C-alpha cells in the first residue's frame, strides 16, 4: 500500500493534491470524484466537501477506491 506523504485541498481548483513521494504527485478533482456518488439528499454533498477540506488525505484514499466515497456518504447519513 502506498503511503501519502502530504495532502492538501486546493480551493482554487477544487482538487485534493497528494504527494506520495518526491516524484509522484496526484490530483483528485473533487467535482469529478463527487459526481460518481449517489446522494439521497442534495445536501449530502456537504459530507464530501467537508472531508476534502478538513481531511484531504482520507478523501484521497477513499476517492482512489471503488465505492469509497459512496460508502463514506452512506455511513455519514446513518450517523446523522
Full pLDDT tens readout for the chain, 80 residues: 578 899 999 999 999 999 998 899 999 999 999 999 999 999 999 999 999 999 999 999 999 999 999 999 999 988 77
How is the chain split into domains, by residue range? 6-79
Looking at residue 80, the DSSP 8-state letter turns out to be -
pLDDT of residue 22: 86
The residues pairing with 8 across neighbouring beta strands, listed in sequence order, are 17
pLDDT of residue 1: 55
| Residues 40, 47 contacting (CB under 8 angstroms) | no
Which of 66, 70, 64, 72 is closest to 20 using CA atoms? Answer: 64
Handedness of CA 64, 25, 29, 77 (dihedral sign): positive
d(CA 16, CA 14): 7
With H, G, I as helix, E, B as strand and everything else as coil, classify residue 38.
coil
Amino acid at each position: 500500500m502506498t503511503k501519502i506523504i502530504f495532502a492538501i485541498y486546493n480551493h482554487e481548483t477544487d482538487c485534493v493534491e497528494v504527494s506520495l513521494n518526491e516524484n509522484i504527485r496526484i490530483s483528485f478533482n473533487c467535482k469529478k470524484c463527487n459526481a460518481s456518488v449517489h446522494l439521497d439528499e442534495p445536501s449530502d454533498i456537504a459530507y464530501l466537501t467537508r472531508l476534502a477540506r478538513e481531511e484531504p488525505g482520507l478523501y484521497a484514499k477513499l476517492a482512489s477506491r471503488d465505492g469509497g466515497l459512496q460508502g463514506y456518504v452512506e455511513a455519514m447519513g446513518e450517523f446523522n
